[in-house]
Amino acid sequence: MAMPVRLPSPGAKGSATPLRGYVEALAMVAASTLIGLVMARRWGTSAVDLLYLPAVLGTAVVAGLRPALLAAVASALAYNYFFTAPHFTFRIRDADDVVTVAMLFLVAVVTSRLAGKMRDEARAAAAHAARNATIAGFARALLSCSSESQIGEIACRRVSELFGCNAALLTGHPVARLVSRCPEGTVLTPSDLAAAALTLDSGRPAGRGAMRLDPAEWSFFPIGTEAAVVAAIGLARDDGGQPVDDSQILLLENLLDQVALALERTRLEAGARDLAGLRERDRLRSALLSSVGHDLRTPLTAIMAGAADLRSRGLDGDGSVAAIGTEATKLERYISNLLDMARIEAGAVKVHSEPVDLVDAVAAALRDVEAGLGGRTLEVDVPIDLPLVRADARLLHHCLINLLDNAGRHSDAGSAIRVVAALEPDGVRLSIENDGRGLALPGPADLDRFRSISGSDRKGGAGLGLAIVKAFAEAMGAEASLCASPGGGGAAASLRFPLNLVLALGELSDGG
């Protein structure tokens, strides 16, 4: 175990023992008396009383306040005994001598108190300077650490040296995990680990010396920020004594604050590195999506044009040309989705809101995807008197195409796809339902990109279309959701336009 490095305490009285201070006080008074006796033979006793003030001041500076008060009393008595008539008695005959002795005692007491106070303040300043230097050196050592284990190693070693005890740093919740210890080979018992876990959980000291009864041999102190407790440090002495006395608790707390700052710094640095990596991956992914989309769009356009030309010339006897055209159209739609996602991530989606009739919007989307629905039955229930909504017609068209395509891909051939719209108390809802295997979810599912919903009817694809629907809907101020269809089988993807996007007839006649 390391020997403790004792820092001066603000309340310390000095290195001299109390008895030595009193002896020094009397010795200084005696020296002043001898000098006064020599002076009195030649020049009289008129200035002898001033010789005792340096003795009182010197005692206050060297030994402290109480020995200085003794020097003040001894000075008054010595002056009375040797230099006032009648000499060598404590009786005073002249009134002037009474005043002189009294003023000597009063001045000696006041100066001793002032000198003693200045001495205590100087020692307190020295103690604070030493403590600040210790904290600064500790913080400087932690600056070079880039991991939790390095911080634990330096913290345990420095604390062990300063307080002359064993030290251990632990983290984790609900089970305490030992990060570092000093000296190596230090063992913590199950009771010690339980006390450490209590400190990590409650943020209060635990173990030996804590308020609550605890069988642990170690004293544990929390290391935390304003947000949470991030670690705990345990201290113990080989002789079983208290590792930190009351005068050193403030120093320990200041050191632990530095450990907390270092741990928080490493956590933030790790988060910044992860964030930088994510940003770089997102940048590369967006560049890749954009590059792939543009490079594939040109040949796809040629394939679609060629298929259309073959069909127009009657060269599609077995339907293979139509199949080529349909699949090319689907692939072109996927590429459009890739480009749309790149635009979304780049923040390049611009919304041009205008009054939109959902009846026309649904009809236009059905015309574009009908060939790719594989003969599935379409059931459309969109009332013609449905209010208009504020939306971007182009973005809404993309949303409906993706939702219809998703419903077609994730439902059985020959099943029904239902497009239902209705005015609800909180706005207008447009739902596209299919008859797939359904969703094993009690409520709506998030339409996050590339997220596969366990137990759902989704198969094939990466969910990119649904993510684009969600992003475009949020850009328009609408809400996209996915849940089990009302009938219990299949899924229902919905777009909800809140009331602030629903136009009344008066608004439209006034120019919208």
Cα–Cα distance list, 111 to 23, 67, 76, 264, 316 (Å): 19, 13, 14, 51, 118
Cis? peptide before 205, omega within 30° of 0: no
- The CATH number of the structural domain formed by 148-244 is 3.30.450.40
- Over residues 47-64, the pLDDT tens digits come to 777 787 788 777 777 777
**Total-model pTM:** 0.48
> Distance between CA atoms of 490 and 434, rounded to whole angstroms?
5
Cα 404 from chain centre: 44
- Range with the largest mean pLDDT of 92-96, 129-133, 434-438, 495-499: 495-499
Residue 257 burial by CB count (10 A; 0-12/13-18/19+): exposed, middle or buried?
middle
Quote the tokens at residue 174: 């609900």
Class of domain 276-348: mainly alpha
| Domain 354-509 annotated CATH 3.20.20.220 | no
Nearest alpha carbon to residue 354 among 318, 394, 322, 314:
394
Q: What is the end-to-end Cα distance of the chain in Å, rounded?
A: 82
pLDDT at 14: 45
Q: Is the pLDDT of residue 241 over 90?
A: no
Average pLDDT over residues 401-418: 84
Q: Which amino acid is at 257?
A: D
Mean pLDDT for all residues in the chain:
79
Cα–Cα distance list, 213 to 165, 166, 191, 209, 366 (Å): 22, 22, 12, 9, 75
Residue that the structure tokens 């300043």 belong to: 125
Domain ranges of the chain: 18-139, 148-244, 276-348, 354-509
**How many residues in total does the chain contain?**
512
Q: Is the pLDDT of residue 200 over 80?
A: yes
Establish whether domains 148-244 and 354-509 are of one fold: no
- Over residues 428-443, the pLDDT tens digits come to 999 998 886 555 444 4
- Greater model confidence, 84 or 206: 206
